[in-house]
Copies of this chain bind each other. A is one copy, B any other.
Amino acid sequence: MVDGSGRGRPRSESARAAVLHAVDDLLVEVGYAALTMKGIAERAGVGRQTVYRWWSNKAEVLYEASAIDARHELSVPAGDDPREGLKAYLDALVAFLSRSHAGAAYRALMGEAQHDADVAALLASRDILGESAAAVVEEARRASGTTLSQEQATALLIGPPFFHILTGRSADAIDTEQLADQFVRALNPPGT
């Protein structure tokens, strides 16, 4: 028994999959603003109540549909050279934010979080970007002997390309190798 009692008809896995698939398709086709719970249900061939039963709003459906992809796309294999590891991570980050479906979902949710506390809480429950950067940031902090916290160092690494892309600038103008260098320099303790 998965749920508490085991009584009643169990949740339909096929309905769940259909909804997640539908929301993914619809985000690409009509965009976030035109994404509606009604539309999701109809596209998935599912009753509206079934969608509402398991997710409160379109943000939750979208989050569940994209979180796994997001984590996957942002995970880079650990390499030998820390500098290359940073560059590889930044490449993945830029690709995710500017070209991936899951990244489009993330940007939409990030945007919604600016004016919807529920969505903000949803995103805060799993710091996808911070987690994805954890390994390379940790390694860089260790290597540099910086006094910066993990959080501060993460903002230093992700912040510049994040700002660049979210303010609508072209991702092509980003030089990840240079960003990695700048990050390392910024990390070094002032005295050295």
Taking Cβ atoms with an 8 Å cutoff, the residues of A that contact B are 31-33, 107-108, 110-116, 120, 123-124, 127, 129-130, 148, 151-152, 155-156, 158-164, 166-169, 173, 175, 178, 181-183, 185-188, 190
Contacts and interface: CB of A to CB of B under 8 A. Distances in A.
Given A185-B186, A186-B182, A188-B185, A167 B116 contact: no
Contact of A33 (B110, B116, B151): B116
A169 B129 CA distance: 13
Contacts of A159: 155, 158-164
Contacts of A33: 115-116
Given A107-B115, A110-B114, A155-B160, A124 B32 contact: no
Of the listed residues A107, A129, A152, the one surrounded by the most CB atoms of chain B closer than 10 A to its CB is A152
Contact of A173 (B110, B151, B178): B151
A162 to B, nearest CB: 5
B168 A163 contact: no
Nearest to A173: B151
Contacts of A31: 115-116
A22 B49 CA distance: 27
Instruction: Kindly list the 7 A-B residue pairs having the minimum CB-CB distance in the complex, ordered from nearest.
Output: A111-B111, A159-B159, A32-B115, A111-B114, A159-B160, A159-B163, A182-B186
Nearest to A116: B33
A127 B182 contact: no
A183 B181 contact: no
A175 B152 CA distance: 9
A167 B107 CA distance: 11
